[in-house]
Amino acid sequence: MEDRIVIASAARTAVGDFGGQFKTVPAVELGVVAVKEALKRANVKADMVDEAYIGNVLQAAQGQNVARQVVLGAGLDIDTPAVTINVVCGSGLRAVSLAAQVIKAGDAEIVLAGGTESMSMAPYALTNERWGARMGDKKVVDTMIKDGLWDAFNDYHMGITAENVAEKYGITREMQDELATRSQNNAERARKEGRFKDEIVPVEVKDRKGNVTVVDTDEHIRDGVTMEGLAKLKPAFKKDGGTVTAGNASGINDGAAMLVLMKESKAKELGVTPLAYIISYATAGVDPKIMGTGPIPSSTKALEIAGLTADDLDLIEANEAFAAQACAVNQVMKFDINKVNVNGGAIAIGHPIGASGARILTTLLFEMQKRDAKKGLATLCIGGGMGTALIVGRD
Residue-wise pLDDT tens digits, 97-124: 999 999 999 999 999 999 999 999 999 9
**Do the bridges between strand 140-142 and strand 16-17 make them parallel or antiparallel, or are there none, so unpaired?**
unpaired
Q: Which CATH class is domain 5-121+251-393?
A: alpha beta
pTM: 0.98
- Are 73 and 29 a contacting pair, CB within 8 Å? yes
Q: Which of 89, 157, 220, 327 is catalytic?
A: 89
Residue 1's pLDDT is 76
Residue 70 has a pLDDT of 99
Give pLDDT, residue 212.
96
**Catalytic entry in 157, 220, 327, 381:** 381
* Helical residues (DSSP H) of the chain, grouped into ranges: 27-41, 66-73, 91-104, 143-148, 158-169, 173-193, 227-231, 264-270, 295-306, 323-333, 346-349, 356-371
Q: Helix 158-169 to helix 323-333 angle, to the nearest 10 degrees?
A: 40
Which 8-state DSSP code applies to residue 357?
Answer: H
Helix-helix angle 323-333:295-306, to 10 degrees: 40
How many whole angstroms separate alpha carbon 380 and alpha carbon 36?
A: 26
- Residue 391 has a pLDDT of 99
For CA atoms 58, 29, 10, 260, the dihedral sign is positive
213/206 Cα distance (integer angstroms): 6
Low-confidence ranges of the chain (pLDDT < 70): none
pLDDT on residue 19: 98
Q: Give the pLDDT score at 321.
A: 99
Is 220 an active-site residue? no
Residue 70 neighbours by CB under 8 Å, 6+ apart: 28, 31, 32, 35, 52, 54, 82, 116
Query: What is the pLDDT, as a whole number, of residue 344?
Result: 99
Active-site residue flag, 351: yes
- Is 327 considered catalytic here? no
Please tell me the distance from the alpha carbon of residue 323 to that of residue 182, in angstroms, as a whole number: 11
